[in-house]
């Protein structure tokens, strides 16, 4: 593959494979106010799942990074995890589902938290300056005017690069003018949000494993 591609690029059912400071690919997100940097915090010892029917975003960038967080729900120890930091300046998401599975040590019981929003195509979830620290992603994706192999510090399509020690300024990045992602299924370690409009928000808590988004 050439390091730089102009025009539209379509990747069918692609999966993210991220090697620290070497490679990263594609997104769903979290947001802060326009032009602001992503917030820094210790991530929990749990991954969560996000599913979406369609995500359209403008101003896309992605690069490798490191998250520091707890090793488990009950533990006090911390560890560092490689992630693919994905970002959009703006995004609209339809049929979004987010779920997290938690085992409560004290009562030895597993519970599931499920959130749904944007089920009406006329009122999608809307966000600005999206960031997400991705562990894995599957989707049908089309990128427009994509540049692959840009240095992290030189990407200019997406929101400002994280400057809190999690990113690698001279590392591998990619950027695109816009992107369409369909049938999105991803696991992630962290999201942060400044403006994140969740139309038709529904939240449920229960013990049924079917509550997970996928």
- Kindly state the percentage of the chain with pLDDT values over 90: 49
Which of 11-20, 42-51, 135-144 has the highest mean predicted lDDT (pLDDT)? Answer: 135-144
pLDDT tens-digit map of 71-108: 877 778 888 888 888 999 999 999 999 999 988 877 88
Any domain includes 3? no
Higher per-residue pLDDT: 125 or 168 = 125
Question: What pLDDT does 170 receive?
Answer: 81
Q: Are 192 and 38 in contact (CB under 8 A)?
A: yes
152-158 contact pairs (CB < 8 A, 24+): 152/63, 152/64, 155/61, 155/63, 157/59, 157/60, 157/61, 157/89, 158/59, 158/60, 158/61, 158/62, 158/87, 158/88, 158/89
- pLDDT at residue 42, as a whole number: 64
pLDDT for the residue 207: 94
Residue closest to 114 by CA, chosen among 180, 197, 211, 214: 211
- Taken in order 131, 55, 142, 58, the sign of the CA dihedral is negative
Residue 2 maps to a domain = no
Q: Is residue 169 part of a domain?
A: yes
Dihedral of CA 27/30/33/35: which sign? Answer: negative
Domain that holds residue 13: 8-211
Cα–Cα distance for residue pair 151/143, rounded to 1 Å? 18
Q: Looking at the 3D structure of the chain, how many domains does it have?
A: 1
Residue by residue, DSSP assigns 63-106 as EEEEEEEESSSS---EEEEEEEEEEEEEEEEESEEEEEEEEETT
Domain assignment of residue 37, yes or no: yes
In a domain, 59, yes or no: yes
Sign of CA dihedral 95, 92, 61, 193: negative
Share of the chain above pLDDT 70, in %: 76
pLDDT at 47 over 50: yes
* Host H or E run for residue 14: strand 8-15
Residues 165-208: pLDDT tens digits?
456 678 899 999 999 999 999 999 887 756 889 999 999 999 99
Q: What is the predicted pLDDT for the residue at 31?
A: 30
Q: What is the pTM of this model?
A: 0.77
Residue 164's pLDDT band (cuts 50, 70, 90)? low
pLDDT at res. 71: 82
- The pLDDT of 37-47, averaged and rounded, is 63
Nearest to 90 by CA among 182, 196, 5: 196
């Amino acid at each position: 593959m050439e390091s730089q591609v102009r025009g539209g690029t379509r990747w069918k059912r692609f999966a993210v494979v991220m090697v620290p400071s070497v490679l990263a690919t594609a997104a769903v997100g979290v947001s802060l106010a326009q032009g602001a940097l992503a917030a820094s915090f210790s991530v929990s010892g749990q991954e969560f799942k996000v599913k979406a029917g369609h995500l359209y975003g403008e101003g896309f960038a992605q690069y490798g990074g490191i998250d520091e967080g707890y090793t488990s729900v009950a533990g006090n120890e911390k560890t560092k995890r490689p992630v693919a930091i994905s970002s959009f300046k703006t995004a609209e998401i339809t049929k979004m589902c987010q779920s997290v599975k938690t085992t409560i040590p004290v009562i030895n019981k597993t519970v599931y938290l499920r959130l749904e929003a944007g089920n009406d195509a006329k009122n999608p979830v809307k966000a600005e300056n999206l960031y997400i620290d991705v562990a894995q992603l599957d989707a049908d994706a089309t990128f427009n005017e994509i540049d692959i192999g840009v240095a992290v510090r030189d990407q200019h399509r997406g929101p400002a690069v994280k400057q809190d020690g999690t990113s690698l300024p001279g590392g591998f990045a990619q950027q695109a003018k816009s992107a369409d992602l369909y049938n999105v299924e991803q696991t992630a370690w962290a999201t942060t949000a400044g403006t994140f409009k969740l139309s038709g928000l529904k939240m449920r808590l229960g013990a049924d494993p079917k509550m997970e988004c996928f």
